[in-house]
Amino acid sequence: MFGKTFVSIILGGSFLASAVFAEEVAVSQKGKTFSEKKITLKVGDSISFVNDDDITHNVYSRSKGHKFDIGAQRPGTTVSHQFTAPGRVKVRCAIHPRMKLTVNVEE
């Protein structure tokens, strides 16, 4: 009765609704540490990495399915990264190996 067009409109609307409800969590970097040790997010949420330190950081992950590298992040800057798949993500700083953050991304 409704056909393929009606189904695509419903599916498209569902996708749009999940994008609207995505959250962004701020994680500060200060004193060569992340402000959080563990965070739980939903798929589609983001973390804003805020460099509140007086030194450069380089946040990255090599976790399977979640690889990213924001590159050299100067003091006073913010860089966001969106998590698009479920899983456990180990986030580190390439310059300061003791900086560790675990992100659990849920459906």
In tens, the pLDDT along 59-88 reads: 999 999 999 999 999 999 999 999 999 999
pLDDT 10s digits, 95-104: 999 999 999 9
pTM, to two decimals: 0.79
Is there a domain that residue 54 lies in?
A: yes
SS (H, E, C) the chain: CCHHHHHHHHHHHHHHHHHHCCCEEEEEEECCEECCCEEEEECCCEEEEEECCCCCECEEECCCCCCEECCCECCCCEEEEECCCCEEEEEEECCCCCCEEEEEEEC
CATH number at residue 95: 2.60.40.420
What is the number of domains present in the chain? Answer: 1
Res. 26: pLDDT tops 50: yes
Residue 87 domain boundaries: 23-106
